[in-house]
Amino acid sequence: MAQESVLDLIGEISPICLMKIKHQLLGMQRGEKLQILIRDTEVVNNLKIIIDRSSDEIIDSVKEQNHLRIMIRKG
């Protein structure tokens, strides 16, 4: 079973969120999953563009009460 990590970015600002996500993904192995908790929709839009240009994949996105929960699989 692939390992899963959680990155809580609720309250973080846009450029820092993207840097932390990229840093986390770089340290992961193919098939591992990263769950991201985030509130900033600008980051989500930029993240989708970045992921589309990589071998990684957004496998789930759920709107919670006050944030989004996004699951990425490392490609």
pLDDT averages per 10-residue partition of the chain, 75 residues: 86 89 95 95 89 95 94 96
Give the model's pLDDT for residue 51. 94
Q: Which range of residues forms the domain containing residue 13?
A: 4-73
Q: How far apart are CA 63 and CA 67, in angstroms?
A: 6
Q: How many domains does the chain have?
A: 1
What letter represents residue 59's amino acid?
I
Give me the CATH number covering residue 27. Answer: 3.30.110.40
Give the model's pLDDT for residue 2. 65
Nearest to 17 by CA among 73, 60, 68: 68
Give the model's pLDDT for residue 1. 54
